[in-house]
Structure 1
Amino acid sequence: MSFLQLLIIAIVQGVTEFLPISSSGHLILIPKLMDFPDQGPLIDVAVHVGTLAAIVSYFWRDVWGLARGGFASVGIGTAPAERRLFWYIMAGTVPAVLVGLFLKTGGYLEGFRSTTLVAINLIVYGVLLGIADRFGAQRKSFEELTLKDAVIVGLAQALALIPGTSRSGVTMTAARFLGYSRFESARFSFLLSIPAIAGAGLLAVLDLADASARMQSDAITAGALTFVAAILTMVFLMNFLKRASMMVFVVYRVAMGVALLLFFA
């Protein structure tokens, strides 16, 4: 793969992973719209790991709190509030892990790389995001997370394995329906993504060991470039959500979905 293709993939992933517009859907569209060879699942996962590094860097205080909760769960230290949040995040991760393993072991993931499917999901889940953002209350914070809320948002996260859905978009949609504010919905969404992306990253490392030296180099380069793009995007989004609604993302999703259906019809 050329450096230009890796750069474009990294920028697209770094921007779209955090904006609720579907990173996986956009990654599938790159080779179709720009006449590039398909980058394949390994590069897709590598750039997701780049975004994981950005999440950990930006939310390092929250991540440290969750780590303290994990340590407290095995008797190292005492942090009851952090321990509760740690286990709620773990519970919310289970649905995506189970569905992801089922799809990967069954060889179903490649079947989802369809432009039509991406377009339909962009529209459907975009409309749901708009409804949730318009009518959802804004009273809850991440610290008020309950087991029920964690599982509901976790079930929504499992839907994001289908391209065009958007992991951040569908989890923010669920959180907004549950009454979390826009800012807290994004915070909740990103922290919930850490175990799921880390798990996918571990599988990618195992695949990377069997890949060619060129593919290994491409994956590392793409991940590093994505980290830079992701950090910049996260700073923008978290500040944006403090003062604006998600309607601009809803409009983008619906317009993009309709355009794709017309273009590839």
Structure 2
Amino acid sequence: MATDMSWLQVIVLSLVQGLTEFLPVSSSGHLRIISTLFWGEDAGASFTAVVQLGTEAAVLVYFAKDIWRILLAWFAGLADKSKRNFDYRMGWMVIFGTIPVGLLGFLGKDFIRENLRNLWITAAMLVLFSFVFIIAERMGRRERSFDQLTMRDALWMGLAQCLALIPGVSRSGGTVSAGLFLGLDREVATRFSFLLAIPAVLASGLFSLPDAFSPEAGQAASGLQLFVGTAIAFAVGYASIAWLLRFVAHHSFAWFAAWRIPVGLLVMALLAAGVLQA
């Protein structure tokens, strides 16, 4: 039987969602850890998915001009072959790159919501995947620009996005690391990562909306709580996007490992000591 979420829990977790959704530290992992540490129970995958709609709305607003341009070019290209420019191809790249996570998320929904939300898995991914960031930064040539993106890039970054279904990995961390391995500039990989996440996260949030009110696993939130939580995530998420794009222009993603690794090790220690329950 699901328990009801308190207003304090909703506000804190929504702030955490907004702060961590776009940073390569895993928002779902942090929500899982903080909810269990301070409230003794997992808020659940459905609450996470719905509140993510707020941060994705922030992406829609922040990249509104780019998204509108791509949509216009995509529809124009469908009607007229002579208008199939880079933005038209970008539309197909986002669609193509979304297919892997869409299929895996739909087919493995129950397994993801229950089995993968074990805190041992979350902690291990926080630590282990940090080394992927470090290796990607060291090996990536970071020389390819936005207009050099290809369908092959979309496929590999789309496959990497599937790893974000595991709390502790990070959607942006997985896709940007894949982009770096492919030789993309860090800021280019980050921008495409944002665009690639839009269809998957919107679909996940809308699909999970009914279950958030009466979840089979996790906690239940009222309609007003979900609305307020989504609004908080939107406001904080918008600021996070602007900060991250400025940061990645001059700094390595590997810096985030300095946060992820200690947090992961701390969670493991708390689990081993019995302070947290997996």
TM-score bracket, normalised by the shorter chain, equals: over 0.9
> What secondary structure, in the 3-state scheme, does the structure 1 residue paired with 2:83 have?
coil
The Cα RMSD (Å) is 2.1
The answer to whether structure 1 residue 54 and structure 2 residue 58 are counterparts is: yes
Q: Matched residues in 2 for 1:96 and 1:10: separation?
A: 24
Which residue in 2 is equivalent to 1:143?
147
The answer to whether structure 1 residue 259 and structure 2 residue 266 are counterparts is: yes
Which residue in 1 is equivalent to 2:105?
100
Deviation of 1:230 after TM superposition, in Å, equals 0.3
Structure 1 segment 184-199 matched on structure 2, within 5 A: 184-199=188-203
Which residue in 2 is equivalent to 1:89?
94
2:20 aligned to 16, 20, 24, which one? 16
Distance 1:22 1:226, change over 3 A: same
Runs of 4+ in 1 over 3 A off after TM superposition: 76-79, 205-211
Q: Matched residues in 2 for 1:14 and 1:70: separation?
A: 30
Structure 1 segment 127-166 matched on structure 2, within 5 A: 127-166=131-170
Deviation of 1:67 after TM superposition, in Å, equals 1.2
> What secondary structure, in the 3-state scheme, does the structure 1 residue paired with 2:79 have?
coil
Which residue in 2 is equivalent to 1:245?
252
Q: Deviations over 1:179-209 (max 9, x none)?
A: 1112111101111001111111220345468
**Farther off after superposition, 161-170 or 247-256:** 247-256
One-letter identity of the residue aligned with 1:89: V
Q: Matched residues in 1 for 2:42 and 2:189: separation?
A: 33
Q: Matched residues in 2 for 1:210 and 1:254: separation?
A: 34
One-letter identity of the residue aligned with 1:217: L
Q: Is the 8 A contact 2:120 2:268 kept in 1?
A: yes
Identity percentage of aligned residues: 37
Distance 1:89 1:74, change over 3 A: same
Q: Matched residues in 1 for 2:112 and 2:38: separation?
A: 25
Deviation of 1:37 after TM superposition, in Å, equals 4.1
Deviation of 1:210 after TM superposition, in Å, equals 7.1
Distance 1:209 1:71, change over 3 A: farther
Distance 1:37 1:259, change over 3 A: closer
The answer to whether structure 1 residue 224 and structure 2 residue 231 are counterparts is: yes
**Farther off after superposition, 191-200 or 106-115:** 106-115
Distance 1:151 1:112, change over 3 A: same
TM score, norm. by length of structure 2: 0.88
Which residue in 2 is equivalent to 1:78?
83
Q: Matched residues in 1 for 2:148 and 2:235: separation?
A: 31
Q: Matched residues in 1 for 2:101 and 2:121: separation?
A: 19
Q: Is the 8 A contact 2:112 2:165 kept in 1?
A: no
Deviation of 1:42 after TM superposition, in Å, equals 2.5
Deviation of 1:69 after TM superposition, in Å, equals 3.1
One-letter identity of the residue aligned with 1:178: L
Distance 1:227 1:108, change over 3 A: closer
